[in-house]
Chain A
C-alpha cells in the first residue's frame, strides 16, 4: 500500500509544483528517474510473473499431453510391419502374358499365372525373427506349394554378427536373394537362369558380420546342405559386400562371392550397383545401373554377364534396358539378348510392366513380348538396397 502511495504522491508533486530553482529541478529529475526505475522494476516483475505463469501452463499442457498418451506409450509401435497383426502377412500376385516368334522355343507362351508369393514374418521373441515365403504356383494344371524360404534369424548376437538358419536364398551375388517381385525385368538375366537355375536356394546356416565403419563392409559365409542326396552340408559359400554414398545424390554397392555347390561345381559372382536420385529423394526421379559377372566351373568354365539401367524420369513411370550374354565352353553358340522394359506403378503396391526382348541364341534371333503385373496386399517388408 505504501509503495503504491509513494510513487503517486511523488508524481503529483512532480506535475503540479512548478520549477522554482535549479536545485529543485535536479531533485525533481532525480525523483522522476527513481519513479521510472520503480515502474520498470514493477513491469519486469509483472512480466516475470506472467512468464512463470505461462511456463506453468505450458508444463501443465505438456503433462496432460503425456498423460493422454500413457496408454499408447505403454505399447509403443515398433515400426515393424507386423505391428498391426502378428505375424505380418503379405501376398504378392504376379502373372504375365508372353508372346514369342521363336520357332519351337522352349519358353512357354500365352498367359502364365506367375508365382503367388505368400510371405509371413514376425519377431519370434526378443532374440529371434522368422520368415516364411511360400510360392503357390500352377504346374501342369496342378497347384503346387513350394517352400521358397523358411528361416529363423538371430537378432541379438553381439559384435555385429547376424545368423540365419533354415532354408533361404543364398547371399551370393546381388539378385540371388531378391524376390521376383523386386526384379526390374519380367525375367532373370541369362547367367542366373543358366548357372543358378534362377536363384540358388538351399538349407543350412548363414553367418554375416558387419564392420563398425562408415564404409559399409559386410562379410558372410554359408554352410549349406547342397543338392546332392548324400551326407549333406556339401555346399558352402563366402561373400563380401562394400558400399557407400557419393555426395547426397549417389550411392553404390559392390561385392564378390563364391559358391561351392558340390566338390566339382562352383559359381563365382562379382556385382556392382550404382543408384542416383536428385537430393537422395527417391520417389520422383531416380536411376539405377546394375551389373553382375558370373562364372560357373565344373568340367568346363562357363561365363556370363548382364548389365542393366533403369530410369524413372517422373513418379510412376520407369524405363529400362538390359544386355545379357553367356560365354559357354560347352557350346559354341553363345546366347545373347537385348531387353527393353517400361513399367507403371499406381502406388508402391501395384505395377504393370511391358517388356520386349531380342534374343540371339547363337544361330537364330527372335523377339519376345511380355506383359506383366505385380500387385501386393497386406504387410510388405521394407526392401533392401
Chain B
C-alpha cells in the first residue's frame, strides 16, 4: 500500500514538470489596479493576474488553493501593502514555496511603500477597529500615486527581466507621458469638486479626497472595519439632516443599505464609486477608472 502510493505520487510529480517552462513574466497582483498597471508597463511580455476583483473586499479574502497555485508560478508579486492583505497574503506566500517572490526579494513589492501614506498612526489599540499602523492602504485613488508606483514597478520588471529592460523602459515612457496628460485633464474637470464635503462608508477614499480637495466629514463605519451601527447612523442623520455634506460614497463591495438609509433621511445623494479597475462597467482600465470617478462625482454636483 505504502510503496504503491509512493510510486503513484512520484508519477504524478513527474507528469507536472513540463508545465514549469513559460516565457512570459507572470505578475501576481493582489488588487486589479496593480494588474492593470503591470499590463500598461509590461505590454506583451507580462501576463498579469489579479487575486481579487473590484467587487471583493481586499481586506477579507480566503487564501484559496487557486491563489497559492498562482503565487507559485509568479515572477513578481505586487500588492497595496500597509497590511491591507495581512489576512491572506502571508498564508499564500507561506504555502506557495516560491523563493523568488518572498518579501525582501526583487519579486515582491508593496505599492504603498513608495507613496506618502495618509492616516498613519502609532496608536495600535484594536478597540478602535481595523488599524493599519502603516497608514491607509487604499492609495490607488490618487493618480499621482499610480505614477510613482509605475516607476518602481517598471524598475522591478527591468530588474527581474534584464534582457528586455529597454522594452520596459519604452513602455514606461509611453505610459507616463499619456498618464500625466490625463491627470491634467482630470484636474481640470475636477475644479468644481474642491471644498465639497463627503461622507464615506469606509476610509477608502482619503487619497482621492486629498487629491481633489474634497473634505471627508464623516464615515458610515463608527469603527473602521466594523459594520455601521444603527446608533452611529442615527447620529449622522441628525448631524447632516440640515445639510453639511454633498455626497455619500461607498465602494461596490460595501453594503448598500447604510448609505441608502442615510440618503433617504438626509436627502444627500448616495453614490457608488469604483475603488479600482472593474468596479463599474465604465472603469475598464486605469484611465477609465478615473474618468468614471470624476464623471460620477461631477454628476452628483450637477444634480444639485
What is the minimal beta-carbon distance from A109 to any residue of chain B, in angstroms? 33
Indicate if the CB atoms of B184 and A216 lie closer than 8 Å: no
Q: Is A367 interfacial (CB 8 A cutoff)? A: no
Indicate if the CB atoms of B102 and A248 lie closer than 8 Å: no
Within the complex, which residue of B1, B64, B133 is in contact with A243, where a contact is CB–CB below 8 Å?
A: B64
Give per-residue flags for A354-385: 1 if the beta carbon is below 8 A from chain B beta carbons, else 0.
00000000000000000000000100011111
- Residue of chain B at shortest CB distance from A346: B226
Q: Is B89 interfacial (CB 8 A cutoff)? A: yes
Answer whether A51 and B97 are a contact pair too, CB < 8 Å, given A65-B145, A216-B68.
no
- Residue of chain A at shortest CB distance from B70: A214
CB-CB contacts below 8 Å: B15-70 with A: 16, 19-20, 52-53, 55-57, 59-66, 68-70
Q: A244 to chain B: which residues have CB within 8 Å?
A: 65-66, 69
Q: Is A211 interfacial (CB 8 A cutoff)? A: yes
Q: Is A76 interfacial (CB 8 A cutoff)? A: yes
CA distance A353 to B70 in the complex (A): 35
Q: What class of interface size applies to chain B in its complex with A?
A: 35 or more
Q: Is A260 interfacial (CB 8 A cutoff)? A: yes
Q: B148 to chain A: which residues have CB within 8 Å?
A: 62, 65-66, 69
Q: Is A226 interfacial (CB 8 A cutoff)? A: no
CA distance A66 to B150 in the complex (A): 12
Q: Is B72 interfacial (CB 8 A cutoff)? A: yes
CA distance A281 to B252 in the complex (A): 11
- Residue of chain B at shortest CB distance from A67: B116
What is the minimal beta-carbon distance from B33 to any residue of chain A, in angstroms? 17
Give per-residue flags for A203-240: 1 if the beta carbon is below 8 A from chain B beta carbons, else 0.
00000111111111111000000000000000000101
Using a Cβ–Cβ cut-off of 8 Å, how many residues does chain A contribute to the interface with B?
77
Indicate if the CB atoms of A161 and B16 lie closer than 8 Å: no
Indicate if the CB atoms of A158 and B99 lie closer than 8 Å: yes
Answer whether A382 and B86 are a contact pair too, CB < 8 Å, given A62-B148, A258-B5, A283-B60.
yes
Q: Is B181 interfacial (CB 8 A cutoff)? A: yes
Indicate if the CB atoms of B90 and A59 lie closer than 8 Å: no
Indicate if the CB atoms of A157 and B99 lie closer than 8 Å: yes
Q: A242 to chain B: which residues have CB within 8 Å?
A: 65
CA distance A31 to B109 in the complex (A): 61
What is the minimal beta-carbon distance from A133 to any residue of chain B, in angstroms? 15
Indicate if the CB atoms of B16 and A211 lie closer than 8 Å: yes
Q: A238 to chain B: which residues have CB within 8 Å?
A: 2, 5-6, 9
Give per-residue flags for A267-290: 1 if the beta carbon is below 8 A from chain B beta carbons, else 0.
000000001010111111000000
Q: A157 to chain B: which residues have CB within 8 Å?
A: 97, 99
Indicate if the CB atoms of A81 and B86 lie closer than 8 Å: yes
Within the complex, which residue of B68, B70, B133, B184 is in contact with A58, where a contact is CB–CB below 8 Å?
A: B184
- Residue of chain A at shortest CB distance from B144: A62
Indicate if the CB atoms of B79 and A382 lie closer than 8 Å: no
CB-CB contacts below 8 Å: A52-77 with B: 54-55, 58-59, 61-62, 65-66, 68-69, 72-73, 76-77
Indicate if the CB atoms of A65 and B72 lie closer than 8 Å: no
Q: A162 to chain B: which residues have CB within 8 Å?
A: 95, 97
Indicate if the CB atoms of B90 and A81 lie closer than 8 Å: yes
Indicate if the CB atoms of B102 and A65 lie closer than 8 Å: no
- Residue of chain A at shortest CB distance from B124: A84
CA distance A84 to B62 in the complex (A): 23
What is the minimal beta-carbon distance from B84 to any residue of chain A, in angstroms? 8
Answer whether A58 and B183 are a contact pair too, CB < 8 Å, given A155-B99, A217-B12.
yes
Q: Is A245 interfacial (CB 8 A cutoff)? A: yes
CB-CB contacts below 8 Å: B202-244 with A: 225-227
Indicate if the CB atoms of A78 and B104 lie closer than 8 Å: yes
What is the minimal beta-carbon distance from A243 to any residue of chain B, in angstroms? 3
Indicate if the CB atoms of A384 and B98 lie closer than 8 Å: no
Indicate if the CB atoms of B90 and A217 lie closer than 8 Å: no
What is the minimal beta-carbon distance from A155 to any residue of chain B, in angstroms? 6
CA distance A77 to B2 in the complex (A): 45
11 A-B interface contacts by CB (under 8 A): A72-B113, A79-B83, A160-B98, A161-B97, A210-B96, A219-B12, A238-B2, A243-B65, A279-B53, A349-B126, A382-B63
* Apart from the given pairs A78-B110, A385-B65, A385-B91, 5 other A-B contacts in the complex at a CB distance below 8 Å: A210-B69, A212-B16, A214-B73, A284-B255, A347-B129
